[in-house]
Amino acid sequence: MKTKTTNQTTPFNLSWKIAGKAGEGVMVISKMVAKICKRHGLQAFNYLEYPSLIKGGHQTGQVFANNYQASCQQKSLDILVTLNKNGFKEHQDEITPETLVIYNSDAGPLDKKKYAHLTKKIIEIPFLSLTKEKTGSVNAANIAILGASAYFLGFDTEISKKIIKDEFEGKNEKIIKDDLIAFKTGFVAAKKLGQPIKKTPQLKDKQILLTGNEAVGLAAIAAGVQFYSAYPMTPATALLHYLAAQQENYPLIVKHSEDEIGAINHALGASFAGVRAMTGSSGGGFALMAESVSLASMAEIPLVILEAQRKGPASGLPTWTEQADLSFVLTAGHGDTQRVVFTPGTVAEHFELTIKAFYLAEKYQIPVFILSDKFILESHQTMIKPKLEYNHPRQSIIKSAPADNSFRRYKITKNGISPRSIPGQDHGLQLTNSYEHDEFGFATEEIKQTTSQVEKRTRKMNDLIKEIVQPYLVGPKKAEVTFVCWGSTINVVSQLICNQSLEKKKTVNVIHLPTVWPFPKKEFTKLAHKAKKLVMIEGNQSGQAERLIKQETEITFADRIHRYDGRPFYVEDLQDWLK
């Protein structure tokens, strides 16, 4: 189907969701719908939910796209594709009288009267039967679903077919041929049952589509990472897979370590040897890394760490989201340790702050955390394509050492940053271990030397705080309610603000914290004091960021909104709260 390009100033949006069992291709099709939206020049957000099962269990993919701002999923749906009757039960609060429900009738006969109170717009298509009839197999049934969705959403058929070919590039020709047949089969079947509910515009495509994990991985490569080690743990596993696939293209070694203790120590060893290194895990895996965070601080070894939050404690809900590791990451490691904790929100911010993390880790010789969560790390979001070439000069590494072998690895300096040599460098001999030490690295228990080294390491923070990313305000300068958030929640709040601006409302603005440590006290206080009513919003039960803010600024909040059921916030949740 060909569609005409519409005026970009005319608001257009679509909200599409697919529900089925894990193993039925739900996530693949959801990603492809998001890609098709992007190719049409729309902004897109693709949110995925799945159980912690290899196969089976309820799984969804959800795409929200528009021509102004799509930064999170939307609860109310234009189309719900459900592969079984369970989709009606699980998503009844997302179905409106205007929602078109596409039901896979191969899952059994459907009593439409039973669901008439949700919507009367229900059509039935036997996707498996039709696909088998046309291709001899049911393997491409999910592509038939894509075809039906493309018809009702008014997608350009050539764009859709190109996405199919791109997605399965490298597969044998029969697979791609069957997929294209299945797409046409679903498209034709849908055409017989009704008219398109949308006419998706074609605008200039200026963006790329990435998950948070992919943005971190791409930025790490741009920043010059040469070693990544990790043990798989959702939702950080995708970063391990992404970087492993890039070893063919870049001077990069990726190690699947035996456990998380090994992962962080392998990365520390690589960093000590002179390469930019990184590790990553979720909360439970990072718990095993805590001792080595102290080692990194004492030995002053640069390291970037992705801490990918999921619902805890313990195993918790392994494939669901939460923002409850903040307090742990702020204090993990024994003794007085130095660190930076970035809390990026959008996919683009994950890219920008990961590059910043490598720079700060190397310059100040400390661990730098990228604290994120399942919601944004595993969701796809469009972002403006970044520049393709980067040059990051090495930081704090000496070019040459004194010929008289007087090099002092832990030299007391005014800014706390000591010169760093690389093992094997001429005259750059150093001794590094986990003990307190003198300027040469020899272990010491002497009072003056101990105090001097502790104070030297602490002085790094004086200059470092000037280089962190400061909090910023999104929305109108004046509003009735000012939300405060950190991490991925900014996607939902900024979508609310965008929606309100389209309605000419100025009810809400938000202060976003992309850095929580060292805490940006001055800039946050300046923004907070302009607010009429401060409301904290975060994805945990205990209010961890609110406690941190009160500790650092003594600022208190008029109210707070918490969510801790493993699900992210929806715009509609905040709208209901405002009402």
Q: For position 5, what pLDDT does the model report?
A: 38
Whether the bond between 423 and the residue before it is cis, its omega within 30 degrees of 0, is no
Q: For position 8, what pLDDT does the model report?
A: 52
Q: What are phi and psi of 485, to 5 degrees?
A: -145, 170
Q: How far apart are the two ends of the chain, measured CA to CA in Å?
A: 41
pLDDT over 70 for what percent of the chain?
Answer: 98
Q: Average the pLDDT over 363-390 and give the result.
A: 96
> Would the pLDDT of 6 be above 80?
no
Q: Which domain holds residue 558?
A: 472-578
Q: For position 556, what pLDDT does the model report?
A: 96
pLDDT band at 53 (very low <50, low <70, confident <90, very high): confident
Write the pLDDT tens digit of every residue in 339-349. Answer: 999 999 999 99
H-run or E-run covering 142: helix 141-153
Residue at 193: amino acid letter:
L
Domain finish residue from 417, 449, 469: 469
Q: Average the pLDDT over 486-511 and give the result.
A: 95
Q: Measure the CA–CA gap between 144 and 190, rounded to whole angstroms.
A: 10
Sheet with 472-474, strands from edge to edge, namely 472-474, 508-513, 481-486, 534-538, 559-562
Q: For position 389, what pLDDT does the model report?
A: 86
Q: For position 7, what pLDDT does the model report?
A: 44
Domain finish residue from 437, 469, 501: 469
Tell me whether residue 457 is exposed, middle or buried, using C-beta atoms within 10 angstroms of its C-beta: 0 to 12, 13 to 18, 19 or more: buried
Q: Measure the CA–CA gap between 34 and 65, rounded to whole angstroms.
A: 8
Which residues lie closer than 8 Å to 469 by C-beta, 6 or more apart?
A: 342, 352, 353, 356, 514, 515
Evaluate whether residue 278 is within a structural domain.
yes
- Could you tell me if 367 and 268 lie in one domain? yes
Cα torsion 153, 67, 342, 52 to 10°: value is -10
Torsion sign (Cα): 450, 367, 244, 227? negative
Q: Measure the CA–CA gap between 551 and 547, rounded to whole angstroms.
A: 6
Spacing of C-alpha 155 from chain mean position: 27
Torsion sign (Cα): 139, 42, 238, 377? negative
Average pLDDT, the chain: 95
Q: Measure the CA–CA gap between 521 and 513, rounded to whole angstroms.
A: 11
Q: Average the pLDDT over 113-120 and give the result.
A: 96
How big is the chain, counted in residues?
579
Q: Measure the CA–CA gap between 406 and 421, rounded to whole angstroms.
A: 12
Q: For position 395, what pLDDT does the model report?
A: 94
- Could you tell me if 224 and 322 lie in one domain? yes
- Could you tell me if 219 and 333 lie in one domain? yes
> Would the pLDDT of 253 be above 60?
yes
- Could you tell me if 17 and 78 lie in one domain? yes
DSSP string, 404-447: TS---TT---SSSPPPB--TT-TT------SS-B-TTS-B---H
Q: Largest Cα–Cα distance in the chain? A: 90
Domain finish residue from 469, 498, 516: 469
Q: Average the pLDDT over 135-160 and give the result.
A: 97
Domains: count for the chain? 4
Whether the bond between 235 and the residue before it is cis, its omega within 30 degrees of 0, is yes
Whichever domain contains 486, its CATH number is 3.40.50.920
- Could you tell me if 312 and 437 lie in one domain? no
Q: For position 458, what pLDDT does the model report?
A: 97
- Could you tell me if 445 and 488 lie in one domain? no
User: Among 41-55, 119-133, 262-276, whose mean pLDDT is lowest?
Assistant: 41-55
pLDDT band at 3 (very low <50, low <70, confident <90, very high): very low
Write the pLDDT tens digit of every residue in 411-436. Answer: 999 999 999 999 999 998 989 999 99
Q: Tell me the whole-structure pTM to 2 decimals.
A: 0.95
- Could you tell me if 236 and 279 lie in one domain? yes
Strand partners, 19: 60, 82
Q: Average the pLDDT over 477-505 and give the result.
A: 95
Evaluate whether residue 339 is within a structural domain.
yes
Evaluate whether residue 457 is within a structural domain.
yes
Q: Average the pLDDT over 142-165 and give the result.
A: 97
Q: Average the pLDDT over 369-387 and give the result.
A: 97
Q: For position 339, what pLDDT does the model report?
A: 98
Q: Measure the CA–CA gap between 134 and 560, rounded to whole angstroms.
A: 55
- Could you tell me if 39 and 133 lie in one domain? yes
- Could you tell me if 169 and 244 lie in one domain? no
- Could you tell me if 197 and 335 lie in one domain? no
> Would the pLDDT of 509 be above 60?
yes
User: Among 1-15, 48-62, 296-310, 436-450, whose mean pLDDT is lowest?
Assistant: 1-15
pLDDT band at 317 (very low <50, low <70, confident <90, very high): very high
- Could you tell me if 250 and 232 lie in one domain? yes
Q: Measure the CA–CA gap between 353 and 216, rounded to whole angstroms.
A: 8
Write the pLDDT tens digit of every residue in 21-47. Answer: 988 999 999 999 999 999 999 999 999
Evaluate whether residue 111 is within a structural domain.
yes
User: Among 45-59, 91-105, 261-275, 451-465, whose mean pLDDT is lowest?
Assistant: 45-59
Q: Measure the CA–CA gap between 263 and 261, rounded to whole angstroms.
A: 5
